[in-house]
């Protein structure tokens, strides 16, 4: 039964996938808390143009992803609260980025294949070098999040009081979005652009409905993310489909019953405490 694990490609995939799953779960938890899930979605699309541009310039797509997403993250962070009201502007920016990515790829010879792999991930073809890079970025992100955990949680749940208490809310916002950009960039290798939501938001969204405290929600999110990723990779290794399909299916398959049946803790209560004081059913989460 353990025979498959001897293959290098599988080991690489599982290592990189694990790193990404953990980071994505943690970052995704804060995305939900801050009501910024659409930003995760948007950064993925924006990253697509970067990845495609990198392919055209014969550079590793990851660096294209990072360049575009980091720029966008800083921009979104500095724009502040306004961004939530500008869904048409963001939608059009996303569209422009996708179009740009399409242009870049169409100028490149093997474009459909390349487009497909950026859109859906290539975790089963990941190289050892990429595993190392992914691992380093993940560690960096987790390290920063670990160090900033308290002020970040504070400013996510109650930004006004946090600001009054001296927490640098604005700088944290920009820094957090930078971390999201990094996470999205490495996660695209695993699940691709189109299904990034399912790895970034799926596990934490499920976890916050089941856990009582932020700590437990995070733990559950990480566990779920790892489980989906491992299962997804193993299932994909034996089939012609990308791992992202299976990960997305698992993520949604578990989320749906939890959400519909209000399983576990959130049964008939207005606000799961893992989300803080926001009452999710009445108005949008986040400030």
Partner 1 sequence: MSLLDLLNQDFARNALLAGAIVAVVSAVVGYFVVLRAQAFAAHALSHIGFAGATGAALLHLDALVGMFALTLLAAAGMGSLGARIRGRDVEIGMVLSLALGLGVLFLSLYTNSASETVGVLFGSILSVTPRAVQITLITGAGILIGLGIIWRPLLFASIDPEVARARGVPVRALGVVFLLLLALAVAQAIQVVGVLLLFALLVAPAATAAQLVRRPFATVGLAIALSLAWTWGGLLLAFTSRWPVSFAIAALAGCAYFAAGGIRRWRVPRRYHAPPHPTREYP
What gap in Å lies between CA 101 and CA 107, rounded to an integer?
Answer: 10
**Residue 240 C-beta: closest distance to partner 1, Å:** 8
Query: Binding of partner 1 at residue 80 (CB under 8 A)?
Result: no
Q: At what angle do helices 243-261 and 202-210 cross, to 10 degrees?
A: 30
- Return phi, psi of residue 193, to 5°: -70, -45
Q: Which stretch binds partner 1 (CB under 8 A): 14-22, 126-134, 189-197, 218-226?
A: 189-197
Query: Binding of partner 1 at residue 201 (CB under 8 A)?
Result: yes
Closest CB to partner 1 among residues 55, 131: 55
Query: Binding of partner 1 at residue 3 (CB under 8 A)?
Result: no
Closest CB to partner 1 among residues 148, 194: 194
By CB under 8 A, what part of segment 134-173 binds partner 1? Answer: none
* Residue 18-47 contact track with partner 1, rule CB under 8 A, x = bound: --------------x--x-xx--x------
Burial of residue 264, with CB atoms counted within 10 A of its CB: 0-12 exposed, 13-18 middle, 19 or more buried? middle
* Residue 206-245 contact track with partner 1, rule CB under 8 A, x = bound: ----------------------------------xx--xx
Closest CB to partner 1 among residues 89, 127: 89
Binder of partner 1 out of 96, 136, 261, 263 (CB under 8 A): 96
Query: Binding of partner 1 at residue 115 (CB under 8 A)?
Result: yes
Closest CB to partner 1 among residues 74, 103: 103
Closest CB to partner 1 among residues 106, 128: 106
Query: Binding of partner 1 at residue 108 (CB under 8 A)?
Result: no
3-state secondary structure 145-171: HHHHHHHHHHHHHCHHHHHHCCCCHHH
**Residue 81 C-beta: closest distance to partner 1, Å:** 10
Q: Name the helix (H) or strand (E) containing 208.
A: helix 202-210
Q: DSSP letter for 287, please.
A: -
Binder of partner 1 out of 205, 207, 236, 243 (CB under 8 A): 205
CA 100 vs CA 45, 48, 259: distances in Å: 10, 9, 36
User: CA triplet 71, 169, 201: central angle to 5 degrees?
Assistant: 60
By CB under 8 A, what part of segment 258-277 binds partner 1? Answer: 259
What's the full length of the chain, in residues? Answer: 287
User: In this structure, are residues 111 and 235 in contact, taking their beta carbons and an 8 Å threshold?
Assistant: no
CA 256 vs CA 14, 92, 146, 197, 198: distances in Å: 26, 29, 30, 14, 12
Q: At what angle do helices 169-191 and 243-261 cross, to 10 degrees?
A: 120
User: In this structure, are residues 61 and 55 in contact, taking their beta carbons and an 8 Å threshold?
Assistant: yes
**Residue 54 C-beta: closest distance to partner 1, Å:** 18
User: In this structure, are residues 89 and 42 in contact, taking their beta carbons and an 8 Å threshold?
Assistant: no
Query: Binding of partner 1 at residue 68 (CB under 8 A)?
Result: no
Binding residues for partner 1, rule: CB under 8 A, are 32, 35, 37-38, 41, 84-89, 91-96, 98-100, 102-103, 106-107, 111-113, 115-116, 119-120, 194-198, 201-202, 205, 240-241, 244-245, 248-249, 251-252, 255, 259, 283-285
């Amino acid at each position: 039964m353990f025979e498959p694990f001897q293959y290098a490609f599988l080991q690489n995939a599982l290592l990189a996938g694990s790193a990404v799953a953990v980071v994505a779960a943690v970052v995704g938890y804060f995305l939900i808390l801050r009501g910024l899930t659409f930003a995760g979605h948007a950064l993925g699309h924006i990253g697509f143009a970067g990845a495609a541009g990198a392919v055209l310039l014969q550079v590793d797509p990851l660096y294209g992803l990072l360049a575009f997403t980091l720029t966008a993250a800083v921009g979104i962070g500095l724009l502040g609260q306004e961004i939530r009201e500008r869904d048409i502007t963001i939608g059009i920016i996303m569209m422009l980025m996708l179009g740009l990515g399409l242009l870049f790829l169409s100028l490149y010879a093997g474009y459909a294949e390349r487009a497909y792999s950026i859109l859906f991930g290539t975790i089963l073809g990941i190289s050892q070098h990429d595993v190392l890079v992914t691992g380093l970025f993940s560690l960096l992100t987790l390290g920063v999040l670990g160090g900033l955990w308290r002020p970040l949680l504070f400013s996510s749940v109650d930004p006004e009081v946090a600001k009054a208490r001296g927490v640098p809310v604005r700088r944290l916002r920009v820094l957090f979005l930078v971390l999201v950009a990094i996470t999205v960039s490495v996660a695209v290798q695993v699940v691709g652009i189109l299904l990034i939501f399912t790895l970034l938001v799926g596990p934490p969204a499920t976890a916050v409905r089941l856990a009582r405290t932020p700590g437990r929600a995070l733990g559950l999110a990480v566990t779920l993310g790892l489980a989906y990723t491992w299962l997804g990779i193993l299932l994909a290794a034996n089939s012609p489909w990308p791992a992202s399909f299976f990960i997305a299916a698992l993520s949604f398959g578990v989320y749906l019953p939890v959400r519909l049946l209000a399983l576990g803790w959130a049964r008939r209560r207005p606000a799961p405490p893992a989300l803080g004081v926001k009452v999710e059913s009445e108005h949008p989460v986040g400030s």
